[in-house]
Amino acid sequence: VPYEWIAPLLTKVAGLCLLLIAVLFAFVSPPPSGFSWGAGGSAYQTEGAWNVDGKGMSIWDAFAHKKGKIFLNDTGDFSCEGYHKVKDDISLMKDMNLKHYRFSISWPRILPTGIKNENINEKGIRYYDDLINKLLENKITPIVTLYHWDLPQILEEKYRGWQNASMVNLFNDFANLCFERFGNRVRHWITFNNPWVMEGYETGEHAPGLKLRGVGAYKAAHHIIKAHAKVWHTYDTQWRNKQKGLVGISLSGDWGEPVDISNQRDIEAAERYVQFYMGWFATPLFNGDYPQVMKDYIGRKSAQQGLGASRLPVFTAQEKSYIRGTCDFLGIGHFTTRYITQKNYPSGRGNSYFTDRDLAELVDPRWPDPGSEWLYSVPWGFRRLLNFVKKQYGNPMIYVTENGVSEKMMCTDLCDDWRMQYFKDYINEMLKAIKDGVNIKAYTAWSLLDKFEWDEGYSERFGLYYVDFRDKNKPRYPKASVQYYKSIISSNGFPNQRELESWKGKAIETCSSSNQLLAADPLISHMGMVTEIVVPTMCTLSILLSAVFLMFLLRRRL
Ligand code: NOJ
C-alpha cells in the first residue's frame, strides 16, 4: 500500500533534484575534466646561479650587468635562487595542488657556448633532470619552454644573435638535445616565449639592447618563426612517434577594442593592433604567411621611404608551406587590453613598428591598475581575445601560459585582494570562453614566485608567493591569493558566489599571520647579520688583542 504514494513522491523529488542540477549548471560551467591548473616562471627570472656549475653567459646576464639598463641596476644573478631550491619550490606547488608547472630551460646553462657540438654542460642537464623528475614524482606535469629570452651571449657577439639566420640551426640543435635528454619525460614543449621582441630590437629596453627601429624586430621575428617551424619538424619526424608529445609556441597578446565601435576606421585600427601583436606570429604558423594588413602597411610605408623592398621580410613559397601548420597547441600569455583609435603617422625617418601600425592606444582611467603601469585589469578583453583566436586560426588547442597581475615593489602586504579579484574576473571570462566553444586545455597563473621582472628589476611583483629579496636565503611567503587559487583548483573553477566570498575571507585571515612573519623579517635578517658578521669580527678582534697583550706582557718579563 505505501508504494502507491511513495513512488510518485520519489519521482517528484528526483525530478526536482535534476531540475536543480540543471539550473546550477546553466550558471556555472566548470571546464572539462582533465583541464589543467598550473603556475609558471622562467629561467632568467627565477633561477639565479648565473655563473654556477659551468653555466655560460646569456644576453640577459650581459645586459643586466651594464649600468643604467635595469631599475636600480638590479640583476638576475641570484633572483629567487630557484636553482638551489627545487625541493622547496616543488613543495609549494604540491601544497597548492598544481597540475602543471611551466618553466624554461636556460640555453647557456646546458650549452655554455650556445653550440651543441662544442660543449654540453652535464651539470646543467642534471639540474633540469632533477627538476623534471621531482615534478613528476609529485604528479605535476612539466610544461617546458625552450627559449624565454636568454640567448647565449657568445652567439650575440659572434653572429648578432637573432639578427642572423644561422640562429635557426643552432636553436634547432639545442632543442633537439632537449628532446633527446628530457623528451622521455616531457610531453609539452613551447619553443618560444612571447617572441614579440620589440623591447630587445626596437627600443633597446630589453637584452640585447638594440635600437634597430622599424627593421630589427621584424628581422629577429622572421628568424624566430623559421626556427620554431624547424624545431616542430624535428620533433615531428624524429621524436613524436616515440615520445608522443606536443610542440607549440607561447604568444603574448593584449586585446585591442575600438574606441568607437560605430567608426569603421577605429574597428580596422583595433584589428590591426591585434594582427601586429599576436597575428604577426600566429598567422604564419597557422596560415603560412604574415597577416595581409602587416604586409600592406609595412610595404606601403617602406615604399614611401624610398626603400626598394619592404622592411617586413618575405617568406618564399617553400618556406610558407614548411611553416604552415607547425603548432600542436597555441600558448597564450594575456594580461591586459587597450582601446584603439586610428592615427596616421606619415612615413619618414622616424619609422618604427609602432608608427607602422597607424594607431593610438588609450586606456580607461577607471580600469584598476594595481601594479605595472601598463597592466590594467580589463577581464572582458580576455574572452574577446580567446574568441578571436578560435575564429582566426580554426579553433586550435589553447594553453593559457601566462595570466596574472603585479603589485608595486614596496608593497609587502600579503593580503593581495586585488590579485584575487583579478584572478576571479579573468578566470571567469576564460570559463565563459570555454562555454563559447574555445578549446582551452590549461590555465597558468603568472607567476608562482615574485621574480626578476626584466628592465623593471624587482620593482614589480607578480608572484603568488612573496619573495624577500633582501634576505640572501630568499624566503617565500604565501600571499592570500595562494589560498584562493588553491580553492579554484580544488573545485575546478568556480562553484558559486557565496563560496567564493568565503574563500576570499579565509585567505585574508591566513595572510594576516604571514604578514606578521614578514614584518618580523628585518629583525631576522638583522639577527643573521649579528651572527654572520658582528660575532666573528668581535671574536677575531678579541683574539688579536689578546695576542698583542700577551706579547706585551712577555716582553716586559724578559
Ligand atoms: C610576459 C613575459 O613572458 C614574462 O616573462 C613577464 O614576467 C610577463 N610578461 C609580465 O611582464
Sequence letter at residue 397: M
In tens, the pLDDT along 474-488 reads 999 999 999 999 999
390 three-state secondary structure:
helix
- The mean per-residue pLDDT over the stretch 77-92 comes to 98
Structure confidence at residue 11 (pLDDT): 66
Q: How far is CA 506 from CA 97, 480, 509, 513, in A?
A: 18, 9, 5, 12
41 lines ligand 1 (CB under 6 A): no
Q: Report the predicted TM-score, pTM, of the whole model to 2 decimal places.
A: 0.89
Query: Using CA atoms, how far apart are residues 325 and 321, in angstroms rounded to an integer?
Result: 8
Residue among 330, 354, 336, 329 at smallest CA distance from 251: 330
Interval between CA 453 and ligand 1 midpoint (Å): 7
Q: Which atom of ligand 1 is nearest to the CA of 460?
A: 11
193 lines ligand 1 (CB under 6 A): yes
In tens, the pLDDT along 349-378 reads 688 999 999 999 999 999 998 889 999 999
- β-sheet bridge partners, residue 305: none
Structure confidence at residue 503 (pLDDT): 86
- The yes-or-no verdict on residue 534 having pLDDT over 90 is no
Structure confidence at residue 272 (pLDDT): 98
In tens, the pLDDT along 184-227 reads 999 999 999 998 877 899 999 999 999 999 999 999 999 999 99
HEC profile for 129-168? HHHHHHHHHCCCEEEEEEECCCCEHHHHHHHCHHHCCCHH
Looking at 49-63, 216-230, 472-486, 527-541, which range is the least confident one?
527-541
Q: For a substitution probing ligand 1, which of 80, 198, 206, 402 has the most ligand atoms within 8 Å of its CB?
A: 402
Fold held by 36-551? TIM Barrel (3.20.20)
Structure confidence at residue 74 (pLDDT): 97
Interval between CA 333 and ligand 1 midpoint (Å): 8
- The mean per-residue pLDDT over the stretch 493-499 comes to 82
Query: Using CA atoms, how far apart are residues 104 and 94, in angstroms rounded to an integer?
Result: 19
368 three-state secondary structure:
coil
Residue nearest to atom 6 of ligand 1 (CA): 453
Looking at 46-50, 152-156, 324-328, 545-549, which range is the least confident one?
545-549
Interval between CA 528 and ligand 1 midpoint (Å): 33
Burial class (CB in 10 A: 0-12, 13-18, 19+), 12: exposed
- The mean per-residue pLDDT over the stretch 160-178 comes to 98
Query: Which residues carry out catalysis?
Result: 402
Structure confidence at residue 180 (pLDDT): 98
Q: Is the dihedral of CA 521, 524, 528, 530 positive or negative?
A: positive
385 three-state secondary structure:
helix
**DSSP label of 454:** G
- The mean per-residue pLDDT over the stretch 403-419 comes to 85
194 lines ligand 1 (CB under 6 A): yes
104 lines ligand 1 (CB under 6 A): no
Residue with cell 648578432: 160
Average pLDDT of the chain, as a whole number: 91
Cell numbers at residue 134, please? 621531482
Q: For a substitution probing ligand 1, which of 278, 375, 405, 453 has the most ligand atoms within 8 Å of its CB?
A: 453
Residue among 101, 52, 100, 98 at smallest CA distance from 77: 52
Q: Band of the pLDDT at 17, cuts 50, 70, 90?
A: low
Q: For a substitution probing ligand 1, which of 70, 102, 106, 194 has the most ligand atoms within 8 Å of its CB?
A: 194
Structure confidence at residue 15 (pLDDT): 64
Interval between CA 204 and ligand 1 midpoint (Å): 17
Residue nearest to atom 7 of ligand 1 (CA): 453
317 three-state secondary structure:
helix
- The yes-or-no verdict on residue 530 having pLDDT over 50 is no
Cβ-based neighbour number of residue 542 at 10 Å: 10
333 lines ligand 1 (CB under 6 A): yes
Structure confidence at residue 220 (pLDDT): 97
Query: Using CA atoms, how far apart are residues 224 and 228, in angstroms rounded to an integer?
Result: 6
Interval between CA 346 and ligand 1 midpoint (Å): 32
Residue nearest to atom 11 of ligand 1 (CA): 453
Interval between CA 374 and ligand 1 midpoint (Å): 12
Structure confidence at residue 512 (pLDDT): 80
**Edge-to-edge strand order for the sheet containing 359-362?**
255-258, 337-342, 359-362
Structure confidence at residue 311 (pLDDT): 97
Q: How far is CA 78 from the centre of its chain?
A: 19
The phi, psi pair for 141, rounded to 5°, reads -75, 125
Most confident of 25-29, 139-143, 344-348, 494-498: 139-143
141 lines ligand 1 (CB under 6 A): no
- The yes-or-no verdict on residue 294 having pLDDT over 60 is yes
336 lines ligand 1 (CB under 6 A): no
Cβ(108)–Cβ(157) below 8 Å: no
Residue among 104, 107, 101 at smallest CA distance from 137: 101
- Geometric angle at alpha carbon 263, from 257 and 269, rounded to 5°: 50
444 lines ligand 1 (CB under 6 A): no
Query: Using CA atoms, how far apart are residues 35 and 431, in angstroms rounded to an integer?
Result: 11
Q: Is the dihedral of CA 293, 294, 299, 304 positive or negative?
A: positive
- The yes-or-no verdict on residue 41 having pLDDT over 60 is yes
- The mean per-residue pLDDT over the stretch 124-138 comes to 98
Interval between CA 127 and ligand 1 midpoint (Å): 23
- The mean per-residue pLDDT over the stretch 398-420 comes to 89
- β-sheet bridge partners, residue 251: 332
- The yes-or-no verdict on residue 459 having pLDDT over 80 is yes
Q: For a substitution probing ligand 1, which of 446, 450, 460, 467 has the most ligand atoms within 8 Å of its CB?
A: 446
Interval between CA 397 and ligand 1 midpoint (Å): 22
Q: Which atom of ligand 1 is nearest to the CA of 333?
A: 1
Which contiguous run of DSSP H or E holds residue 193? Answer: strand 188-193
